[in-house]
Structure 1
Amino acid sequence: MTTAAATSFGAFVIAAAAAGRLVVQPRMGFSDPRRMRAGLERTKFAAATTVGTITLDSYTRLNDHRAVRRALAGGTPLNGYPIVAYPLNQTRALLDGVLDASFPIQVRHGSSRPQQIIRALTAAGLDATEGGPISYCLPYGRTPLRESVSNWEAACHLLAERVAPPRKPHLETFGGCLLGQLCPPGLLVAVSVLEARFFAQHGIGSVSLSYAQQTDPAQDEEAVRALRRLAGEFLPAEVDRHVVLYAYMGVYPTSARGARRLLETAAELAVRSGAERLIVKTVAEAHRIPTVEENVAALETAATVAAVTARPGGTGPVADTGVYTEARTLVEAVLELDADIGRALCAAFARGVLDVPYCLHPDNAGRARSYIDDGGRLRWAAVGRMPIRPATTPGDRAEMTSARLLSALHHVARSFDG
């Protein structure tokens, strides 16, 4: 039984991009192995250039494997694939005949304690996952930041040790998706670059840098261009890298028409900005967990739009409103704190050099605030102790009340449903 792909995840995406194809990917995970395999097969044979996803369940993310076993024993469906609890042979059987050079697969999880997940996925013949010491700690739980950094250091070394050449271990930073929404692009870009550099410092030879679609297409294009530029400036030349764009991560349109159009704008943005991979969302996002069929439809919609969108290759002219400068300022400020990036990140949050707006984690300073201006762009209302400036536009930086926050959270959904 052969499960290991001859081509690494990162190498596959880079090759597809070189051939002018956008790689599209679902966020799909099922606890029933038969349904999970069917989802992978349908993704593989969709009318698009695809990579597969195995998204893990919430209990596995939290390392509550006893709860996983209880659910499986009782026949209770989980919201993802429990890769640690299932026997290794079962996962290998799931992948057999699906995972190959034409179809690499990534494991997605959300854990600030990913070591057991890394052991399970590499034992099954996989080489790619995602996360990060900041992006899978601050928004999602109460794990102390220093503990998350230590866990991710160990996870990087595990992945690097357990993926044999000629394949390269691949890690995708989730840093460009902090809280999914209402985080101005400069901070998203900076954290994505810092986490990718953290991965490289701990032995990972292939990375992807993420950015989540936000509220304004022009601002987003500027941000992705800035991310690509900074990756070239701050990552070692020998580290393979690409950019992955996420379709909007916040409150999604409730209408099928609005949801489809939002996905189409994400595909257009990916092509215009030069991103190599797009993680899609479906027409069902606002209502329930999408079916396999809905995921495949989203993949094919995105691929169709990408194929007819002009490709400037990430080098055409784009407005400069300061995203690159802001992100670079934050990256440099963090790197000045310590030669070890893990220690630098911990120090940065302790001092407020990095501060995620509306994030309630105890290790986040919580002084930063953002807002959506009258033109639809995300801006800083307050920056706390970060070494950047808040917006200077007049009149629209009123205090963020609960009503204003709720309105901002629904801004995109309202715009596309309207």
Structure 2
Amino acid sequence: MTLVRPADGELAAFAPVDFGAFVRERGAHAPVMQPRMGMSDPAAMRAGLAATKRAAASTVGTITLDSYTRVGDLGAVTEALRQGIALNGYPIVSYPERQTAEVLAGLRGRDFPVQVRHGSPVPQAIFAALIRLRLNATEGGPVSYCLPYGRTPLADSVRNWEESVRRYAALREQGVEPHLETFGGCMLGQMCPPSELVAISVLEALFFHHHGVRSLSLSYAQQTNHEQDVEAVWALRRLAGELLPTENWHVVVYAYMGVYPSTPGGCYRVLGLAAELAARTGSERVIVKTVAESVRIPTVEENVAALEYAAEAADLGRTGTPRMPAGESQTYLEARALVEAVLELDPDPGRALVQAFRRGLLDIPYCLHPDNRGRASSYLDEAGRLCWADLGALPLRHLVRPAGARQVSSSGLLADLSYVRRKFDEECAVLPGGRGLPPEQQRRAIVSSR
């Protein structure tokens, strides 16, 4: 594919659409679908964006960065590019600005904004590249891009993100509205009870706002029980409405990020339920996964198929206008208690987050980062709901019945980690068509099997 060269001065004059406002407007009618797509070859990356834009769904584009760029190993990026070795994402810091501008030229615009996805506790170089390119939508967070992925001290990650967010917020002075999405609702991908996912997502959004960003989205990753997920997303929406000092926010639902089903039918069923979760809760955006997730990096065609399938599943899953349930759910009460306990520590959200983890007021089950206490634990009950096995120092004892320091064995943990794969692959096996059930039958099965 021949890249389209932007005219001289086009990048400097380009004023991208407010990503958050775009998604809020489009997502008011049906969730906007988004892939997790990233290719190291510029022509392939452009082709992926173009295919996403053409998909039979309301979409936004994604440029996912490679793992070397995420950890700041730019020397490894240079060597891979020199040898022609494909990376697992787009090396935006290492390519000349003109190269990336050519990837975007004629594609991003008021009808198709593009978000950059990365995963770094040391994101300054990444943000600097985004600012130069006027790429005004990205995601992450000082906690969610630190604790699960490496050993960078949490206090360092908070300082790095403070610096980066303040610089990103300054785009507004150039007439560009920056957007940040919290990754806090996806901690470790699985086995973190929903109330803590909700709390960290809200806290990271407050951190972003504190440092100047006014266009926000809050994440929540699909877990192991659909009704518990519905309760959690409503809790997230309620807390965001109560605490965020801006109206320009929306919720993004991620398809399950843990051990994914190995059969096409199982994959489609999980993705369909994620799309339905968004539709039932009025969530404005969905991050999709494909049938190839458990075995390899998906192709562009597989990404487009997932986008279109999820859009149809969301349409089937919508039953009238979503309305927040009355009353305060257990998930909401727990999440609010966690948020309030953290915010009482310090008026600065970053310092409060560091203190909260130091004291164990936030504690991610099974997270091995040195700054995580590791005393809280969780398990799945018979219905697949995520429950607290041990609270550690979490400020929830007035809300959660002590589990008696329930012991979670290694075999029990492994069984819980594979619960979604096992459940959906087994369900798929008994449906007409078995393991290779085609998408159109899956769409009917998603509705009829509930």
Please state how far the C-alpha of 1:17 moved relative to its aligned partner: 2.0
Matched with 2:142 is: 133
Q: Is 1:229 aligned to 2:234, yes or no?
A: no
Q: Is 1:341 aligned to 2:337, yes or no?
A: no
Equivalent AA in structure 1 for residue 278 of structure 2? A
Matched with 1:362 is: 370
Please state how far the C-alpha of 1:314 moved relative to its aligned partner: 3.7
Equivalent AA in structure 1 for residue 154 of structure 2? L
In structure 2, distance between residues paired with 1:398 and 1:347: 27
| Aligned ranges 1:63-78 → 2 under 5 Å | 63-78=72-87
| Aligned ranges 1:10-409 → 2 under 5 Å | 10-18=20-28, 20-164=29-173, 166-237=175-246, 239-317=247-325, 321-389=329-397, 392=401, 398-409=406-417
Q: Counterpart of 2:317 in 1: which secondary structure?
A: coil
Equivalent AA in structure 2 for residue 294 of structure 1? E
Q: Tell me the TM-score normalized by structure 2.
A: 0.89
How many residues are paired up?
415
In structure 1, distance between residues paired with 2:400 and 2:339: 20
Q: Could you list the runs of 5+ residues in structure 1 that have no partner in the other structure?
A: none
Native 8 Å contact 1:242 1:275 kept in 2: yes
In structure 2, distance between residues paired with 1:370 and 1:252: 20
Native 8 Å contact 1:22 1:303 kept in 2: yes
In structure 1, distance between residues paired with 2:362 and 2:403: 25
Q: Deviations over 1:369-392 (max 9, x none)?
A: 000001110000101001013854
Identity of aligned pairs, percent?
A: 60
Q: Counterpart of 1:242 in 2: which secondary structure?
A: strand
Native 8 Å contact 2:123 2:161 kept in 1: yes
Please state how far the C-alpha of 1:60 moved relative to its aligned partner: 0.2
Q: Counterpart of 1:116 in 2: which secondary structure?
A: helix
Native 8 Å contact 1:131 1:173 kept in 2: yes
Please state how far the C-alpha of 1:401 moved relative to its aligned partner: 1.2
Native 8 Å contact 1:127 1:163 kept in 2: no
Native 8 Å contact 1:274 1:312 kept in 2: no
RMSD: 1.6
Please state how far the C-alpha of 1:320 moved relative to its aligned partner: 5.7
Change (3 A) 1:313 1:350: farther
Structure 1 outlier segments of 4+, above 2 Å:
1-6, 162-167, 308-314, 316-321, 389-395
Equivalent AA in structure 2 for residue 414 of structure 1? R
In structure 1, distance between residues paired with 2:270 and 2:350: 36
In structure 1, distance between residues paired with 2:173 and 2:224: 41
In structure 2, distance between residues paired with 1:319 and 1:377: 20
Native 8 Å contact 2:378 2:390 kept in 1: yes
Q: Could you list the runs of 5+ residues in structure 2 that have no partner in the other structure?
A: 1-5, 427-450
Q: Deviations over 1:26-85 (max 9, x none)?
A: 000000001100000000010000000000000000011011001100111100000000
Native 8 Å contact 2:192 2:386 kept in 1: yes
Q: Counterpart of 2:364 in 1: which secondary structure?
A: coil
